């Protein structure tokens, strides 16, 4: 990043001691950013202040930001996903280390800015971005960072070059959404992460009732801009509408923050209540039922609900798997439940394998697929899925659950020290998650570290006071002989009751 001085009266910018040639609009944008350098300036504010209320496309602002970065350096103006821009202060930092770039085109879709001026529809904006990411993830020729990682940058200053190195991606997508009544106007830009150069920019307009078509169109144009042959080569983006009832869709969007990770029992109850309302409005809405099934799986994994309560959704899971079709999330959630319940493990494993073939670039698909594969003893295949989930969602919540599954698989595959190291990290990050504590107990026992295993038994009692071996054997999805023997030896060896 270069040093500069701005003379507002003379309308002149000096960069590294030399006058810089800037257009009038670029100068005004820079002057406004400098005058408000202590804060993030929204795109809407810049358009209002610099263009004086004229009706102009947001792409005009993008052009000026790109021009300023060429003159001042790519790091001079930071993008704040979902908000706007901030003039960077200080000197350039060393590039963060991250995974190497892949052979295929790789990108991150950053949270879009909500420039409607109302917080009420923020969930709709976030839902639009999440669905665009899901659509792009279906394309096997692209690598797309998961939504839970990209949303870590919402409202935070982002240097695109740093971001590209941190996530190992070549491109970034940013945008904004403006809602006026029933109309949506979405502006989207595709940027080269290393340079901040705008590759493509376009505005999309449609009614809220056409939101699914809008999502598909945006995803198709982004994919086509990154890799032109994808525009028509793959039909994985455009699908039938998930529901004709936009009220049901709205309820699912409201439920997702509660059921995506299920942090608390209250979250679980709120999320399921919203999903039940969506299902009541549209009983054929497969994704609403699929998210409900996953919410029960996560809540049971955290030992928030009993095994018996978890099985209340078993009939729904059975019916859903039969009608899943080619929807990878429906396949993987219902397949995981089949395997987790213990009454359809091979059937569930085949369903999640199919989901991975259909959508190999989804972190959520890989995470959900890894568990059923581990249940049937396909440890290396499960680790491959878990590792893919970490690469796709390196900063999101899914990464830690992927590491949890991989840690147990390493133990069962005979790589006990590797499993111990992974599980110690997991429990350090999620000390109250029952499955993680139990897996570390197993890892310590397999490593011959009896005292450490006994310490984990004490932690497990805090989380599940009525823990017993018989209850574990009845409800655990791990039913292979070697898995059962480890459970029996570890439970009894640390003194947990039968």
What is the CATH classification number for the domain harbouring 70?
1.10.10.10
**Is residue 90 predicted with pLDDT exceeding 50?**
no
Q: Is residue 17 part of a domain?
A: yes
| Cβ burial, residue 396 (10 Å; 0-12/13-18/19+) | buried
Phi, psi values for residue 201, rounded to 5°: -145, 140
The mean pLDDT of 439-463, rounded to a whole number, is: 93
Give the Cα-Cα-Cα angle 113, 114, 118 (nearest 5 degrees). 155
Q: Is residue 466 part of a domain?
A: no
Handedness of CA 460, 462, 463, 465 (dihedral sign): positive
For the ranges 83-87, 147-151, 190-194, 482-486, which has the lowest average pLDDT? 83-87
**Is residue 1 predicted with pLDDT exceeding 70?**
no
Q: Is residue 160 part of a domain?
A: yes
Please name every residue paired with 87 in a beta bridge, in sequence order, or none if there are none: 77
| pLDDT tens-digit map of 396-411 | 878 888 999 999 999 9
The mean pLDDT of 233-241, rounded to a whole number, is: 48
- 3-state SS, residue 207: strand
Angle, helices 345-358 vs 328-341, to 10°: value is 160
Calculate what percentage of the chain has a pLDDT beyond 90: 32
Same domain, 138 and 228: yes
| Last residue in a domain, options 183, 205, 233 | 233
Same domain, 139 and 42: no
**Is residue 63 predicted with pLDDT exceeding 60?**
yes
Same domain, 144 and 63: no
Phi, psi values for residue 228, rounded to 5°: -50, -35
Q: What is the pLDDT of residue 230?
A: 56
Number of domains making up the chain: 2
Q: What is the pLDDT of residue 13?
A: 85
The mean pLDDT of 373-391, rounded to a whole number, is: 94
Same domain, 59 and 176: no
The per-residue pLDDT of the chain, averaged, comes to: 85
- Checking DSSP bridges between strand 171-180 and strand 113-114, what pairing results, if any? parallel
Same domain, 215 and 135: yes
Cα gap 174→190, rounded to integer Å: 7
Same domain, 67 and 112: no
**Is residue 91 predicted with pLDDT exceeding 50?**
no
Q: Is residue 190 part of a domain?
A: yes
**Is residue 416 predicted with pLDDT exceeding 90?**
yes
Which domain does 12 fall in, by range?
A: 4-77
Q: Is residue 292 part of a domain?
A: no
Q: Is residue 477 part of a domain?
A: no
Q: What is the pLDDT of residue 228?
A: 62
Q: What is the pLDDT of residue 86?
A: 85
The mean pLDDT of 64-75, rounded to a whole number, is: 83
Same domain, 53 and 169: no
Same domain, 111 and 229: yes
For the ranges 84-93, 112-121, 316-325, which has the lowest average pLDDT? 84-93
| Last residue in a domain, options 233, 253, 285 | 233
Q: What is the pLDDT of residue 238?
A: 45
Same domain, 228 and 118: yes
| Last residue in a domain, options 233, 267, 289 | 233
Cα distance between the two ends of the chain:
65
Same domain, 63 and 15: yes
Higher pLDDT, 258 or 228: 258
Handedness of CA 67, 23, 30, 60 (dihedral sign): negative
Report residue 347's pLDDT band, with 50, 70 and 90 as the boundaries. Answer: very high
Choose among 182, 66, 50, 64: nearest CA to 116.
Answer: 182
- Enter the tokens of residue 277: 């309302």
Neighbouring C-beta atoms of residue 2, cutoff 10 Å: 13
Same domain, 67 and 126: no
For the ranges 140-144, 336-340, 439-443, which has the lowest average pLDDT? 140-144
Cα gap 39→30, rounded to integer Å: 14
Cα gap 174→33, rounded to integer Å: 19
What is the CATH classification number for the domain harbouring 207?
3.40.50.10610
For the ranges 29-38, 98-107, 317-326, which has the lowest average pLDDT? 98-107
Same domain, 142 and 51: no
């Amino acid at each position: 990043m270069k040093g500069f001085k701005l003379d507002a009266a003379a309308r002149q910018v000096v960069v590294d001691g030399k006058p810089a040639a800037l257009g009038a609009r670029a100068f005004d944008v820079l002057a406004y950013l400098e005058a408000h350098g202590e804060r993030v300036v929204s795109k809407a504010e810049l358009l209002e202040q610099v263009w004086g209320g004229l009706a102009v496309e947001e792409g005009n602002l993008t052009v000026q930001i790109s021009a300023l970065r060429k003159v001042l350096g790519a790091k001079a103006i930071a993008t704040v996903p979902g908000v706007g821009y901030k003039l960077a202060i200080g000197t350039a930092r060393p590039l963060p280390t991250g995974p190497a770039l892949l052979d295929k085109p790789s990108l991150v879709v950053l949270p879009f800015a909500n420039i409607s001026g109302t917080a009420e529809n923020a969930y709709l904006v976030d839902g639009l971005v999440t669905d665009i990411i899901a659509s792009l993830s279906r394309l096997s020729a692209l690598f797309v960072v998961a939504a839970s990682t990209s949303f870590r940058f919402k409202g935070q200053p982002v240097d695109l070059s740093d971001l590209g190195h941190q996530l190992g991606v070549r491109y970034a997508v940013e945008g904004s959404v403006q809602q006026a009544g029933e109309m949506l106007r979405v502006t989207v830009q595709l940027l080269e992460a290393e340079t901040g150069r705008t590759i493509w920019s376009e505005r999309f307009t449609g009614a809220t009732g056409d939101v699914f078509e809008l999502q598909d169109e945006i995803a198709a144009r982004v994919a086509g801009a990154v890799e032109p042959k994808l525009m028509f080569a793959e039909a994985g983006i455009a699908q039938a509408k998930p529901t004709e009832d936009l009220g049901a869709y709205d309820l699912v969007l409201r439920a997702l923050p509660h059921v995506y990770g299920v942090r608390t029992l209250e979250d679980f109850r709120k999320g399921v209540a919203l999903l039940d309302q969506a299902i009541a409005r549209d009983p054929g809405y497969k994704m609403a039922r699929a998210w409900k099934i996953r919410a029960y799986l996560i809540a049971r994994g955290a030992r928030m609900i009993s095994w018996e309560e978890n099985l209340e959704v078993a009939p729904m899971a059975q019916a859903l798997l039969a009608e899943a079709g080619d929807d990878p999330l429906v396949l993987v959630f219902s397949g995981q439940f089949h395997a987790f319940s213990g009454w359809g493990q091979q059937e569930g494993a085949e369903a999640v394998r199919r989901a991975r073939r259909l959508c190999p670039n989804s972190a959520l698909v890989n995470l959900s697929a890894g568990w059923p594969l581990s249940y049937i003893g396909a440890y290396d295949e499960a680790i491959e899925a878990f590792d893919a989930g970490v690469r796709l969602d390196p900063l999101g919540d899914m990464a830690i659950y992927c590491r949890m599954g991989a840690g147990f698989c390493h133990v069962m595959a005979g790589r006990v020290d590797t499993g111990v190291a992974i599980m110690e990290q997991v429990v350090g990050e999620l000390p109250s998650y029952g499955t993680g504590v139990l897996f570390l107990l197993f890892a310590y026992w397999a490593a011959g570290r009896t005292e450490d295993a006994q310490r984990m038994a004490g932690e497990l009692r805090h989380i599940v006071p009525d823990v017993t071996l018989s209850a574990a054997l009845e409800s655990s999805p791990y039913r292979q002989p070697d898995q059962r023997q480890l459970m029996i030896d570890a439970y009894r060896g640390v003194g947990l009751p039968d």
